Structure 1
Amino acid sequence: MAVSKSQQKSSTRKIVKGSGAQQVYSTLRREILTLELPPGSFLDENQLADRFKLSRSPVREALIRLSGDGLVIGTSNRASQVAPLDISQFPKYIETLDVAQRMVCRLAAQLRNDTDIERIKETQLAYEQSVGPKNYLAMSETNKAYHMAIAAASKNPYLTDFYRRLLDEGQRMLHLHFEYIMESPEASLNQNEHGRMTDAIVAKDIEAAEQAAHDHTTLFRDRFLRFLQQGFMSGFSVTPK
């Protein structure tokens, strides 16, 4: 069936609109995760439209996607704001992350198949290759991909979706955590943390997988608390449970 010129133009407009929204989304997401846009920053649709030389529609679409990621919130006057980073809730966040991470690894060790193992190993290698000074966004992104590969192996879409939202919420803290580890002479990055989880999942050792996941969460907690105690984010008081 022939396509009219008006239909072709409409199709072109949709592609341009979609690519514009993706550009805004990708740029703002990177700036939020790296804290270039600090928590609490207001995001004005008109200013963003001027910045990206787009209409407000793709900007609004990008902000809706970022809201779905938990990185942007709406305010009472219908404005958008970078989601606050509430460090005071860190102990509660860690409690929840620990439970989810342990369950994900338990199920993955029980239910994983050869394709899952291949994906887990690929993402583990990608993370290891990303490790380096000033490469913190790539480190946090590849770290998330590794953990989501494990989540996929758990074969539980409800748990996987919940786990993804936890990882999204914690990604800015992870960025700060990596910066602290890579730039502090007192801290070091143990490259075997992921290896223990991978080995246990490959071996179908359910208890070892859960223990490795718990130890991984605990190490992140302890490092981040040391980061806070050194005054990098003054004004917050966080104590481990």
Structure 2
Amino acid sequence: MTKRVGTDLLAADVHARLRARILSFEIKPGSRLVEDEISATMNVGRTPVREALLRLQGEGLVSREKGWVVESTDPSNMQAIFESRIAIEGYATRLAATRVTSADVTELEALVAEMDRFEAMNRAQLNQLNRAFHRRIIEMSGNPLFVDMHEKTLFHYWNMRLPVIFTKEQTQAANEQHKVILTALTARREAEAEEAAREHVRTTFAIVRDALEGF
């Protein structure tokens, strides 16, 4: 029994470490994951490695076809990805409105103010700020499962490597939507916060969909 518990703990650790590297794109989509190499790198046996990979497969992050491979997201799944984002981010923002603190507001205000300077930064920097803004709101919901699900939807979104370039006007509009979300959160208006978050994701979906139709 002790051995089983020990194996479970090792598998959980391997899973967490591999998952973090996949979600951050340190391990790129399409990369092969070799059990022996992971065992040697992490100094664990093959059993916990295999169990960790099976968990990642269950989460849709890796697949097994002539070996383990990090999933690449098909753009045809875009609608499902955005539907998931609308549901998760919408309700998480609603919960965040019931639990927001003054410190949360200050942090979000700083991120919004920084994003207003988007013309002075590259797209990667703006994306980082945008992700930090949305992740903080998800964290404010107080539900760690929402955080995990949000990370997975973002993984699949960025994994698609979409040929989309947001215009200056679209970026400004997105920043204005961030302010609407923040205003609703600050005032603890739950329904308004949820709808603002949903509308924000719907707007992004429309931009991406239109861009892909012309690609």
TM-score, length of structure 2 as denominator length: 0.67
Partners of 1:113 and 1:164 lie apart in 2 by 23
Which digits, 9 at most, give the CA deviation of each residue in 1:25-66, with x for residues without a partner?
87994577xxxx6x5x34376xx99xxxxx7558x99xx79x
Q: Which residue number in structure 2 is paired with residue 203 of structure 1?
A: 187
> Quick one: percent identity of the two aligned structures?
19
Indicate the SS of the match to 1:81.
strand
Q: Cα 1:110–1:56, aligned 2, differ >3 Å: closer, same or farther?
A: closer
In the TM superposition, residue 100 of structure 1 has moved relative to its aligned partner by 0.9
Residue 217 (structure 1) aligned with residue 201 (structure 2): yes
Q: Which residue number in structure 2 is paired with residue 165 of structure 1?
A: 152
Partners of 2:121 and 2:104 lie apart in 1 by 30
In the TM superposition, residue 88 of structure 1 has moved relative to its aligned partner by 1.6
Q: Cα 1:82–1:194, aligned 2, differ >3 Å: closer, same or farther?
A: same
Q: Which residue number in structure 1 is paired with residue 166 of structure 2?
A: 181
Instruction: Show the 5 A alignment for 1:58-77.
Output: 73-77=62-66
Structure with the greater relative contact order (CA < 8 A, sep ≥ 6): 1 or 2?
2
Partners of 2:109 and 2:77 lie apart in 1 by 33
In the TM superposition, residue 92 of structure 1 has moved relative to its aligned partner by 1.7
Residue 112 (structure 1) aligned with residue 100 (structure 2): yes
Q: Cα 1:134–1:43, aligned 2, differ >3 Å: closer, same or farther?
A: farther
Q: Which residue number in structure 1 is paired with residue 214 of structure 2?
A: 230
**Aligned pairs, number:** 192
Partners of 2:23 and 2:138 lie apart in 1 by 26
Residue 124 (structure 1) aligned with residue 112 (structure 2): yes
Instruction: Show the 5 A alignment for 1:45-56.
Output: 56=41
Match of 1:90 among 73, 78, 82: 78
TM-score, length of structure 1 as denominator length: 0.61
